[in-house]
Chain A
Amino acid sequence: MSSRRLAHDLERALSGRSEVSADLRHLVETATLLRDVFAAAPRIAADVRAREAAGAAFLEAAIGHDEPSTIRRPRRAHRVLRRALIAAAALVLIPSAALAAAWPAAQRSLPGEPLYLLKLGVERARIALASGEGELGVFLDIADARIREAERAEAAGLFDAFEEALRRYADVVHAFDATIADLGGPPESSAPRAQDVFEHHSVVLTSLLERIPDVAVPGLRAALELAEGHGPPDDVPPSGGFPTDVPGEVGAGADAEDSEGSGSTVPDGSGPPVPTGPPPSASGANSNEGPPEDQGGRMWSPPVRRPALARGILLREGRRDPSSSHSGESGNPARAGNGRSDSPVVSSRSKLSSRCYRCDGPLFGFDGSPRAHRPSPFPSVSVTLSSD
């Protein structure tokens, strides 16, 4: 039989249009083996990255500019033009009738789900439409959305989506920092809300730390460090209770997602806060240390004590929360005993990225003020000497 005829018969056999003859059977089996061996799918995080990269490239192609796949800051010289173009393209592309119908579901979507791309597209459009301090508010909203996604993913046992949400959380926080750098420093009017938001994130993330499997811990730790690095500084005296004056500034975005009922809404003035993390009183904060401090027209909610990360790790390990005796405050005997200085040691000249080389904690808070040096997140060994 000619090779051409054989090739034709093989194609008919492969497509099921004819019986598989004995001399072609081994070739059909080889084709089946080939198909089965590589019958894999991309992992959910990779699929999300590919969708986002493609979505961003698609949006970019619509306007002829290079819109990166993750939230990054374009060069200042191009930003005004880019904003207008991206916003215009987003407004044309995103709110079609079909997408409007899909929007409620998109808001509840998690990384890896089909409608998540739509959610990210709308977020990108919001960033493009905002400017200055308004942009900071949008970044806070988006960071908050990532935390809610992480909570829902954890509750559903979707740990790929959980890790992806936290990776994106880090992207947003870095973009938030870059915007502050562009603005020449943190604007005072935004600081209280930012500190509230990040403090709330610390609480939520700390509570999640106790529930997630070990493989997901590194990502969560990184996110928790970021959140704590942007929370209220340690040296701010805690108030005697929950804030009595919720901020009127909600940022650009208390959007409809805030009403999805995840239970982790940041106190933003749109409704009563329902934190899912441990109650502030359980954090080891001394609620009687002093009067509530007014900061820009509002009061602090009780700050999460700095060793939240260490506390979460200890709780995961079934050990006692040492915050009552190892709170991280200056002058703590437990710390004095380990010979460490309370003065932070500056390892970098940039305020936004300065970290203590001893505990790797941030040296400066969101408002630029120096923070108290934190103890190492690793528990110290205490030795009790017998008087005998």
Chain B
Amino acid sequence: MHEQDKFLDEARAGSQDAFAALYERLRLPVFRYLLSRTGDRDEAEDLLSEVFAAVANGIRSFDGSMDAFVGWVFTIARNDVADARRAKRRQSVQAVPDPPEVERLPDPADAVVDRLDATRVQGALVRLTDDQREVVLMRFVAGRTLAEVATALGRPISAVKSLQHRGLAALRRALEEET
């Protein structure tokens, strides 16, 4: 049995150790996906907590392979992002500006360049269809396999491959048009 599958089985059986190992494996991919979807580090960090709390709550009733588990985790992440967006839209009328944070004070030059890149890519991603965006972010930002993405989106692998190709092409065009 694959080690990750073993962790999954043990976590389902109630091992906190095994669950911690799964968290360790997935925290960065999930965080990066959340960051790419929200464009906001604070929000992505908050959502990271919510996603894994939901995973912890439901893992005992989850039944499937490791690929399916990862897909399920990303489905939770997608839903959480969508919920957060809806909540933000509702609250946008009464939005109060955040107090300035120390971490948002002047960055080194390279960080500024990184941020500009992120903003540019974020703007280009908006021009993809929802499915294309989900595929390219899960594949390249979160580093998930085709099978995992297919499970998360409930689409066949061949469809994910096509969405990946069309999504990257659309993103490339959008980036070229922005520059």
B-contacting residues of A (Cβ < 8 Å)?
Answer: 3-4, 6-8, 10-11, 26-27, 30-35, 37-43, 46-47, 49-51, 53-62, 69, 92-94, 96, 98-99, 114, 117-118, 121, 215
Tell me if B60 is interfacial: C-beta within 8 Å of chain A.
yes
Q: Contacts A27-B172, A42-B45, A53-B52; is A11 near B57 (CB within 8 Å)?
A: no
Once the chains bind, are B14 and A10 in contact (CB under 8 Å)? no
Once the chains bind, are A54 and B171 in contact (CB under 8 Å)? no
Q: Using CB atoms, name the residue of chain A closest to B55.
A: A54
Contact of A94 among B16, B50, B56 (CB under 8 A): B16
Residues of A within 8 A of B31 (CB): 40-42
Once the chains bind, are B32 and A39 in contact (CB under 8 Å)? yes
A128 to chain B, nearest CB (A): 15
Once the chains bind, are B45 and A31 in contact (CB under 8 Å)? no
Contact of A49 among B19, B49, B54, B141 (CB under 8 A): B49
Once the chains bind, are A96 and B14 in contact (CB under 8 Å)? no
Stretch of B63-71, B79-87, B90-98, B157-165 with 4 or more beta carbons under 8 angstroms from chain A:
B157-165
Considering the complex of A and B, which 6 residue pairs feature the smallest CB-CB distances, nearest first?
Answer: A46-B45, A57-B56, A54-B52, A7-B165, A58-B56, A57-B53
Residues of A within 8 A of B137 (CB): 34
Q: A30-B168, A33-B121, A42-B48 are in contact. List 16 more A-B contacts (CB 8 A).
A: A8-B161, A31-B139, A34-B121, A35-B140, A37-B118, A38-B121, A40-B31, A42-B31, A42-B45, A47-B48, A49-B45, A54-B19, A55-B16, A61-B58, A69-B53, A96-B17
Residues of A within 8 A of B58 (CB): 61
B43 to chain A, nearest CB (A): 11
Once the chains bind, are B23 and A6 in contact (CB under 8 Å)? no
How distant is the Cα of A32 from the Cα of B166 in the complex, in angstroms? 16
B20 to chain A, nearest CB (A): 6
Q: Using CB atoms, name the residue of chain B closest to A39.
A: B32
Contact of A92 among B14, B45, B143, B146 (CB under 8 A): B14
Once the chains bind, are A50 and B48 in contact (CB under 8 Å)? yes
Once the chains bind, are A114 and B24 in contact (CB under 8 Å)? yes
Interchain residue pairs with CB less than 8 A apart (5): A6-B165, A7-B162, A27-B168, A42-B45, A57-B53
Within B106-138, the residues touching A (CB, 8 Å) are 114, 117-118, 121, 136-137
Q: Contacts A46-B48, A54-B52, A99-B17; is A40 near B169 (CB within 8 Å)?
A: no
Q: Contacts A4-B158, A10-B165; is A38 near B17 (CB within 8 Å)?
A: no
Contact of A96 among B15, B27, B45 (CB under 8 A): B15
Q: Using CB atoms, name the residue of chain A closest to B47.
A: A50
Contact-residue bracket for chain B: 35 or more
Once the chains bind, are B56 and A27 in contact (CB under 8 Å)? no
Once the chains bind, are A69 and B49 in contact (CB under 8 Å)? yes
Once the chains bind, are A11 and B164 in contact (CB under 8 Å)? yes
B116 to chain A, nearest CB (A): 10
Residues of A within 8 A of B162 (CB): 3-4, 7
Tell me if B102 is interfacial: C-beta within 8 Å of chain A.
yes
Residues of A within 8 A of B114 (CB): 37
B14 to chain A, nearest CB (A): 6
Q: Contacts A10-B168, A34-B140, A35-B140; is A50 near B49 (CB within 8 Å)?
A: yes
Once the chains bind, are B24 and A93 in contact (CB under 8 Å)? no
B18 to chain A, nearest CB (A): 10
Q: Using CB atoms, name the residue of chain B closest to A52.
A: B49
How distant is the Cα of A57 from the Cα of B51 in the complex, in angstroms? 11
Once the chains bind, are A93 and B45 in contact (CB under 8 Å)? no
How distant is the Cα of A92 from the Cα of B15 in the complex, in angstroms? 9
How distant is the Cα of A53 from the Cα of B19 in the complex, in angstroms? 12
Contact of B41 among A30, A34, A40, A59 (CB under 8 A): A40
B65 to chain A, nearest CB (A): 20
Q: Using CB atoms, name the residue of chain B closest to A102.
A: B17
